[in-house]
């Protein structure tokens, strides 16, 4: 399929558009055809609500742009489960709420149904079945129960004391800099920027350059001791520090939380802690709430300060 992402999404949506048609009759027909679960009914029915259509198309556009950026794939008819799973995993890394993640999941399920309908209507021969069980399970493990908002760990240093090796270093980097797990799981020697005095507190910090979400470049700021440890790990890894298994990291964090009597809040719980600690630190050093919020947003790689405010609750 040619055309930009918006145009492609509209073509795919057209195959499943059911505005003005009876949702009740469509569900009844699906059940009479053998559908039993809500998920099975959803795959056999169209989209009957304007609000749902807008929400789903927004997610589909995000998936299309993600596949183009991360995989160089411009044709949404070539979407595979691995592309969609990578998109959902990126949302887990961003620390979205469980409710938001579930909404993404519903939208991807409908995208699969829409692509199959489009293929049938246009006789393209395409068949789509996104196997997302693994990434959905990861979402449950990382983001917690539905409607439960992640929070900072009550004592992150105790978490660190129960970790070792690459897991401890990755967690320390997240705690000190607010870095996303993807940003700290692979760091090359060329990303090191040396030591520099931090402008607000006057403390000496080690700088690590990262290309964050949406191509937003910034420097993670860490303590000189952690910077030295990172340099040693990079030297030992032939020019790169790498944490290969994200699931093992999550399991190590969960074990550490259980052993220290803390609620498990995934890797993003470390970013929550950074945001809250950093806000307090900056305000103690003379910044207003708004000024501190803006600086923390920049340091965390957030496009808007209201995203950071969510971390302060």
High-pLDDT (> 70) share of the chain, % = 97
State residue 231's pLDDT score.
97
Same domain, 125 and 20: yes
Element (H, E) at 193: strand 192-197
Residue 4 pLDDT more than 70?
yes
**pTM for this model (two decimals):** 0.62
Query: Which pairs with CB-CB distance under 8 Å and at least 24 residues apart come from 47-54?
Result: 47/13, 47/16, 47/17, 47/18, 47/19, 47/110, 48/18, 48/19, 48/21, 48/22, 48/23, 49/19, 49/23, 50/19, 53/13, 53/17, 53/19
Mean pLDDT throughout 276-293? 92
Which domain-ending residue is among 143, 166, 200? 143
State residue 145's pLDDT score.
59
Give the mean pLDDT of the chain.
Answer: 90
Same domain, 134 and 266: no
State residue 42's pLDDT score.
77
State residue 202's pLDDT score.
94
Residue 147 pLDDT more than 50?
no
Same domain, 163 and 128: no
How sure is the predictor about 150, in pLDDT bands with cuts at 50, 70 and 90? low
Q: 149 lies in a domain?
A: no
Do 303 and 264 meet the contact criterion of CB atoms below 8 Å apart? no
pLDDT single digits (tens) 43-58: 788 898 898 899 999 9
Same domain, 161 and 192: yes
Mean pLDDT throughout 80-89? 94
State residue 43's pLDDT score.
76
User: In the beta sheet, which residues pair with residue 47?
Assistant: 17
Same domain, 129 and 196: no
Residue 255 pLDDT more than 90?
yes
Same domain, 125 and 226: no
Same domain, 220 and 127: no
**Cα(253)–Cα(73) distance, integer angstroms:** 34
Q: 151 lies in a domain?
A: no
Residue 262 pLDDT more than 70?
yes
CATH number, domain with residue 164:
1.10.443.10
Query: Which of 208, 163, 182 lies closest to 271 in space, CA to CA?
Result: 182
Same domain, 117 and 167: no
Q: 239 lies in a domain?
A: yes
Please state, in angstroms and as integers, the Cα–Cα distance from residue 57 to each residue in 107, 136, 150, following that order: 8, 20, 27
Q: 148 lies in a domain?
A: no
Residue 65 pLDDT more than 70?
yes
Same domain, 202 and 266: yes
Residue 171, judged by CB atoms within 10 A of its CB (0-12, 13-18, 19+), counts as: buried
| Domain with 66 in it | 5-143
Residue 223 pLDDT more than 90?
yes
Do 44 and 52 meet the contact criterion of CB atoms below 8 Å apart? no
Same domain, 199 and 227: yes
The CA R_g of the chain, rounded to the nearest whole Å, is 22
How sure is the predictor about 149, in pLDDT bands with cuts at 50, 70 and 90? low
Element (H, E) at 175: helix 165-177
Which domain-ending residue is among 120, 143, 166? 143
CATH number, domain with residue 17:
1.10.150
Residue 137 pLDDT more than 80?
yes
Which domain-ending residue is among 143, 174, 209? 143
Residue 144 pLDDT more than 50?
yes
Element (H, E) at 173: helix 165-177
Same domain, 121 and 264: no
Give the list of residues 6+ apart from residue 141 with CB closer than 8 angstroms, or none.
250, 254, 266
Do 44 and 30 meet the contact criterion of CB atoms below 8 Å apart? yes
Same domain, 10 and 94: yes
Q: How many domains does the chain have?
A: 2
User: In the beta sheet, which residues pair with residue 188?
Assistant: 240
Q: 220 lies in a domain?
A: yes
pLDDT single digits (tens) 107-124: 999 999 999 999 999 999
**194 by DSSP, 3-state: which?**
strand
């Amino acid at each position: 399929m040619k055309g930009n992402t918006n145009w492609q999404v509209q073509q795919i949506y057209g195959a499943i558009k059911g505005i003005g048609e009876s949702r009740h009759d469509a569900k009844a027909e699906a059940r009479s055809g053998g559908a039993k679960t809500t998920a099975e009914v959803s795959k056999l029915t169209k989209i009957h609500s304007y609000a749902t259509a807008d929400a789903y198309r927004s997610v589909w556009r995000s998936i299309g742009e993600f596949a183009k950026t991360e995989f160089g794939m411009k044709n949404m008819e070539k979407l595979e489960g691995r592309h969609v799973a990578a998109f959902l995993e990126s949302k887990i890394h961003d620390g979205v709420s469980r409710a938001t993640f579930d909404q993404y999941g519903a939208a991807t399920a409908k995208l699969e149904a829409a692509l199959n309908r489009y293929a049938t209507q246009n006789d393209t021969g395409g068949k789509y079945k996104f196997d997302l069980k693994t990434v959905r399970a990861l979402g449950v493990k990382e983001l917690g129960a539905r409607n439960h908002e992640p929070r900072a760990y009550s004592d992150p240093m105790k978490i660190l004391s129960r970790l070792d090796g690459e897991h401890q270093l990755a967690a320390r980097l997240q705690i000190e800099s607010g870095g996303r797990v993807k940003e700290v799981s692979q760091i090359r020697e060329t990303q090191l920027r040396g030591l520099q005095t931090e402008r607000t507190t006057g403390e000496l910090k080690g700088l690590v350059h990262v290309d964050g979400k949406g191509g937003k470049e910034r420097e993670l700021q860490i303590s000189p001791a952690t910077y030295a440890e990172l340099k040693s790990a990079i030297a030992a890894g032939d020019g790169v520090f790498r944490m290969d298994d994200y699931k093992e990291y999550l399991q190590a964090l969960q074990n550490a939380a259980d052993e220290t009597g803390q609620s498990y809040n995934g890797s993003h719980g470390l970013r929550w802690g950074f945001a809250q600690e950093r806000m307090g630190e900056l305000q103690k050093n003379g910044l207003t709430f708004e000024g501190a919020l803006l600086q923390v947003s920049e340091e965390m790689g957030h496009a808007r300060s209201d995203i950071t405010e969510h971390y302060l609750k």
